[in-house]
């Protein structure tokens, strides 16, 4: 059996999310997930520098914005009492990143029932982690079907590890159209 260099294959996918960071409105960490090799110490330093960079931006709450920092295209949005960041490599497709952010935010909104208070985020943190795990596999967007994600997130009494579905739904249709569906094609050709 031929050995596959997964790292090389992953780098050829149309869009890789490199990190997702959720902060409260005081800049304190709520949750972060990295799909790049950074030590925890370097992650925390990166997050501090990221917060410093944001202070110099004119980010409008409720509007997804983008800026470049440290060789990343970073999408940011301030909603209620949280700020989230989604990072892609500079050369990755910005439209795909923007579409991912919209989908992430729509699902996040459903989880917290449009109540973006810090306490509501912490109350639903496990569901938010499931959301991220369901949408991404090693940074590759594998599920954009809001219906299947909603169903999985709302199931009670299940562990996080049971929710990774690699983009399939009960009907075998991965859902999600437009730009993000092209990511599925790339992922399927790699993992196929």
Nearest Cα to Cα of residue 99 among 69, 139, 141 = 141
Say whether domain 15-191 belongs to CATH 3.30.450.60. yes
Provide the pLDDT for residue 66. Answer: 95
Which helix (H) or strand (E) covers residue 119, if one does?
helix 118-123
Parse the chain into domains and list their residue ranges. 15-191
Three-class DSSP category at 19? strand
Provide the pLDDT for residue 108. Answer: 92
Could you give the CA distance from residue 63 to residue 77 in angstroms, rounded to a whole number?
6
Provide the pLDDT for residue 52. Answer: 86
Give residue-wise pLDDT tens across range 95-135: 989 999 999 999 999 899 899 999 999 999 999 999 999 89
List the chain residues with pLDDT less than 70.
1-15, 156-192
């Amino acid at each position: 059996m031929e050995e596959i260099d997964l790292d090389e294959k992953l780098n050829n996918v149309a869009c890789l999310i490199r990190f997702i960071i959720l902060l409260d409105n005081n800049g304190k960490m709520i949750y972060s997930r990295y799909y790049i090799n950074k030590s925890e110490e370097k992650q925390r330093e990166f997050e501090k520098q990221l917060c410093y960079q944001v202070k110099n931006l004119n980010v409008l709450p409720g509007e997804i914005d983008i800026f470049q920092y440290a060789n990343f295209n970073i999408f940011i949005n301030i909603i209620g009492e949280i700020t989230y960041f989604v990072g892609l490599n500079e050369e990755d497709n910005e439209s795909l990143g923007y579409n991912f952010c919209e989908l992430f935010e729509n699902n996040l909104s459903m989880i917290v029932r449009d109540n973006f208070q810090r306490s509501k985020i912490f109350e639903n943190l496990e569901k938010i982690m499931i959301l991220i795990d369901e949408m991404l596999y090693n940074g590759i967007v594998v599920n954009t079907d809001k219906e299947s994600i909603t169903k999985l997130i709302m199931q009670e009494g299940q562990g996080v590890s049971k929710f990774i579905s690699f983009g399939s739904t009960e009907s075998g249709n991965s859902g999600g159209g437009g730009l993000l569906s092209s990511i599925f094609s790339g992922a399927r050709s790699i993992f196929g």
